[in-house]
Amino acid sequence: MRTLAAFALFALSVANADAQQTVATEPIVRAKLDPATVVVGQNATLTLDVLVPNYMTKPPVLPAFQIRNAVTHDGSTINMSEQVDGVSFAGVRYEFLLYPQEPGAYAISERSMTVTYAVDPPDSRETVVRIPSLSFQAVIPDAAQALDPFVSAQRLVVHQEIKPSSDHLKVGDSVVRTVTIEADGTPAMLLPPLPLVRSPIAEAYPAQPEFQDKYDSRTGVLVSRRIDQVTHMLQQSGQFSLPAIDIGWWNVGAGKVETAHLDAMSFQVVANPAAQGTISDGARARWNWSAVRDGIAEHWLLAALIATAFAVIAWFAPAAARSITAAYQQRRKTYLQSEAWSFRRLRRVAGSGDARTVYFAMLDWLQRFEPVASDRTIKAFKAAAADPVLDSEIGSIEQQLFASHRNAGEWSSRRLLWRVGVARRNLRRQVASRGAERQLPQHINPMGIPNASTESWRKPAR
């Protein structure tokens, strides 16, 4: 009887050990978002620990942590190991920095990720684990409510470089102003743009702003830089001034509003006799009908032959016109369905400055743009172009259209169209070069050119 009781006790202990081992050999995922309340422009840190028994056989497949009205940056990645119920676990700690752009509540909904790990080496298992939903709040301090736009940082400095094209400026010369903002603890995307100078003396031509972000994993600080450059083309003589620039910002460490200042600069622009002479010569260029009549009189035989040719053309014109009209209409129909026409339409509507019209014209063009033929979406276009500046411009117009708080000065149809045009040229060159590499010589396979397949258009998608 005592032996039977001992055996039962042993069996129960083995069963409990097996149950504990089964529980302990499942992947462990821990997620937290800290702090619960942040200042707009400062980061809440999402920390994600992924642990598996033994070791991972491939990196985890993480979901995207992009949320509306916030900029997400990758933080540090740290390898880690733990002992859980006597079982060795190994894994990775990921950090994501979430920078809210507006005050309010922000939430990351529940998501899933795929983890592959060694259960009984070398055998591996792939499993899907859940990441719980998390949330945080973003606020603007009462003392900084008057800042527009609101900018927060741990440190912010600004400096400028002004380069006139000549020591003695005259009409036709230029002045280039480059303003660089450097900040700690906020992304470059959230730094304010350089205000444009509107003057009858000069026309301003801003270049695409340059954004630079560098995360220091040792200090945990994001160091950012925004560079704006504007070329002012001098069109009239007179006094031309570049105004002073004051950037108000919230010093997170000191808890107060500070101001970064740039001095104003003035230039005297004088008239350019060479430019005036060119304008005068152009104004004098006009038709001289008396010279035309004299030319016809001197070459009357040639004029008669030309008149006869026109008469013959007029005799045969109706049939030829019908044929030409039919061919033109077919060619016109083909052109109206082409990518070139769609892009030309995008360029035309960009002049309206209407964000909605421009955005949907861009979506319509993407339906015809072959380098993103896989799904023809904005996301596919940005991935294929791999241009951070293009991503910034598309993000600006999407914020203008879809964000709850819209800033009309943040997007420019001219800058967007420029970056889209650059990406279009680059992607078409890449497709052409790949096609040239794959093409066989004509004498090896002398077949006719296949007919272009009919494209099936899909509705625009973001």
DSSP per residue over 54-110, as a string? S-EEEEEEPPP---TTEEEEEEEEEEEEEEETTEEEEEEEEEEEEEESSSEEEEE--
- Flag whether pLDDT at 404 surpasses 60: no
Confidence of residue 417 (pLDDT cuts 50, 70, 90): confident
Instruction: Report whether 409 contacts 394 (CB < 8 A).
Output: no
- Flag whether pLDDT at 445 surpasses 50: no
Distance between CA 234 and CA 185 in Å, rounded?
A: 38
pTM of model > 0.85: no
Contacts of 165 (CB under 8 A, 6+ apart): 173, 174, 175, 176
Confidence of residue 180 (pLDDT cuts 50, 70, 90): very high
Instruction: Report whether 131 contacts 29 (CB < 8 A).
Output: yes
Confidence of residue 288 (pLDDT cuts 50, 70, 90): low
Confidence of residue 38 (pLDDT cuts 50, 70, 90): very high
Distance between CA 430 and CA 185 in Å, rounded?
A: 38
| Range of weakest confidence among 329-338, 411-420, 441-450 | 441-450
> What's residue 217's pLDDT?
80
> What's residue 237's pLDDT?
92
> What's residue 21's pLDDT?
42
List the one residue out of 461, 409, 395 whose CA is nearest residue 68. 395
In terms of Cβ atoms closer than 10 Å to its own Cβ (0-12, 13-18, 19+), residue 73 is middle
- Flag whether pLDDT at 285 surpasses 70: no
Taking the alpha carbons of 95, 100, 106, 110 in that order, is the dihedral positive or negative? negative
Distance between CA 263 and CA 259 in Å, rounded?
A: 13
| Range of weakest confidence among 165-174, 190-199, 323-332, 445-454 | 445-454
Give, rounded to a whole angstrom, the gap between the first and last alpha carbons of the chain. 75
H runs (alpha helix) in 245-377: 273-284, 289-298, 300-336, 339-350, 355-366
Instruction: Report whether 220 contacts 97 (CB < 8 A).
Output: no
**β-pair partners for 99:** 71
Distance between CA 158 and CA 169 in Å, rounded?
A: 27
C-beta pairs of 62-65 under 8 Å, 24+ apart in sequence: 62/94, 62/113, 63/111, 63/112, 63/113, 63/131, 65/96, 65/98, 65/108
